[in-house]
Amino acid sequence: MKIIPLFLSVVFAVAALHADEPRKPNVIVIMADDMGYGDLSCYGADDFETPYIDQLAAEGIRFTSGYCSASTCTPTRYSFLTGTYAFRKPGTGIAPPSSPSIIPAGTPTIASMLRGVGYKTAVIGKWHLGLGGEKGPDWNGDLKPGPLEFGFDTCFLLPTTNDRVPQVYVKDHRVLNLDPKDPLWVGKKKPSEDHPTGITHRDTLKMDWTHGHNSTIHNGISRIGFYTGGHAARFRDEDLADKWVEKSVEYIAENKDQPFFLFFASHDLHVPRMPHERFQGATRLGYRADSIVQLDWCVGELMKAVDQHGLAENTLFVFCSDNGPVMDDGYADEALEKLGDHRAGGPFTGGKYSVYEGGTRTPFITRWKGTIEPGVSDEVVCTIDLYGSLAALTGGEIPDEAALDSFDVSGALLGDSDAEGRDELVQQDNGSKGNFGFRSGNWKLQRHDSGKARNVVVEKLLENTDVPKFQLFDLSKDPEEKNNVIEDHPEKAEELKARLAAIIEAGRTRE
């Protein structure tokens, strides 16, 4: 079953997907951070409500087999922008605070493709793909290469991820509001013996750490890495969501008369979870769920901005996540203690860092009023395919050496009842251990070269679990991946092993 319609009428505009003239809707991709399949009320959460995202789903398509390509943030974002599996490029694991740009300048991306067909392009929010050349970012100078060197007209960024230093905004090529008399320094080693850290000044923290996040303190929270200076440029964690919305609403208003692409890269609900004061206590599940409610508000503000300018019937919304859920990811924010019966991963096993379904199968919603017929789809779609799909929709060109693994699933994204999604999908973890999931139809092969899986059980502290190198699951009967049937289906297992190895070796899947 490809599409389960909520209404029986057929929207003729979907047929225009195959017409001679390309279509150029505004495109807003909203990427949540560490959100699981079960973290929205439209996907079954019942401890809190997400009315705006639910509205997107009710007015569009809610996918039950929507994926990101990796179970951590940097590789998923790399694959989304470049259309190429991140495991093909060494160094695409979770980027450190002063990582150089992981994407080389001039690399064709989804942004450069859209700009080539007349779009204005922007990324607002979390970046975490590195900045600067081989030596890393020049925090006090021009941060090149960065988003502007591969297709974005403008950017307003959290440069890394907020549990890593520094806590500053980057506008286009520069740190915003940086005082040259107070230069910003970022390093791997403690700059001085008296430099306050989460270890030496733990009693001053407003949110304690549980593992790893115990270096430089900012805003009462200790982080990964060290930095000094740049005080005028530093932000409050509580204000991040408001700033992303402010800049996005401005961008929509400025570009309402031409096609635009906005990548709204939320930091919610990544650690440190510190929502604005007006959302603190919005749920009974603690700051993690409060951050989900805050993200829902952000989505509502973007929807209102689009409505205000009369753009709803010319705007394609895509809501997705960069990976699955995690509870204790380094801070004592009571995500575990207040979890209750909430299943962040929905019916699936695993979460962030794992290649079980819960690591990469996430909420995935498309809405384009007047074009997409509301419904629920079980077609397999992935964030890596937005490049190929938007190129097909808008008439954009993809160079042969670009988007090596991105397919045109635009028909499925728009709800065309004759269109299909992916036949197969490779899923990866952070990329450092060679752990892969490979879905082919309803079969799922797991290949753990490390012999270890992490965050298999989300509702407990992170730990490594011993697993066989290969496991085989029938997702149609066992979506939780509880019953390894590799001994019952040896021929299917060998077929999938060979196919996965061939995909990795070939260097590309797009013909």
Summarize pLDDT for 3-57 with one digit per residue, the tens: 444 443 333 344 444 445 788 999 999 999 999 999 999 999 999 999 999 999 9
The total number of residues shown for the chain amounts to 511
Tens digits of residue pLDDT in 367-419: 999 999 999 999 999 999 999 999 999 999 999 999 999 999 999 999 998 99
> Is residue 294 a part of any domain in this protein?
yes
What are 471's two structure tokens? 């496991």
Question: For residue 433, what pLDDT is reported?
Answer: 65
Question: For residue 65, what pLDDT is reported?
Answer: 98
What is residue 95's DSSP assignment? P
Is 403 found in the same domain as 470?
A: no
Q: Which residues of the chain have pLDDT under 70?
A: 1-20, 432-433
Pairing of strands 217-218, 375-382: unpaired
Q: What total of structural domains would you count in the chain?
A: 2
Is 498 found in the same domain as 383?
A: no
Question: For residue 7, what pLDDT is reported?
Answer: 40
The domain that holds 273 is classified in CATH as 3.40.720.10
> Is residue 139 a part of any domain in this protein?
yes
Is 116 found in the same domain as 85?
A: yes
Computed over every residue of the chain, the mean pLDDT equals 95
Among 422, 451, 467, residue at a domain's last position: 422
- Name the CA dihedral angle for 78, 82, 88, 94, rounded to a multiple of 10 degrees: -10
Distance CA 359, CA 326 (A): 9
Is 502 found in the same domain as 440?
A: yes
Is 470 found in the same domain as 350?
A: no
Amino acid in position 495: E
What residues make up the domain containing 34? 3-9+24-185+234-422
Amino acid in position 367: R
Residue 209 contacts residue 200 (beta carbons within 8 Å): no
> Is residue 203 a part of any domain in this protein?
no
Is 262 found in the same domain as 177?
A: yes
Among 353, 388, 422, residue at a domain's last position: 422
Question: For residue 1, what pLDDT is reported?
Answer: 37
Task: Name the 3-class secondary structure at 429.
Answer: coil
Residue 150 contacts residue 140 (beta carbons within 8 Å): no
Is 395 found in the same domain as 301?
A: yes
Is 272 found in the same domain as 181?
A: yes
Strand partners, 168: 234
Nearest by Cα to 324 from 199, 402, 430: 430
Distance CA 276, CA 258 (A): 33
Nearest by Cα to 257 from 30, 28, 26, 29: 26
What are 249's two structure tokens? 């609403």
What are 401's two structure tokens? 């050496």
Is 430 found in the same domain as 406?
A: no
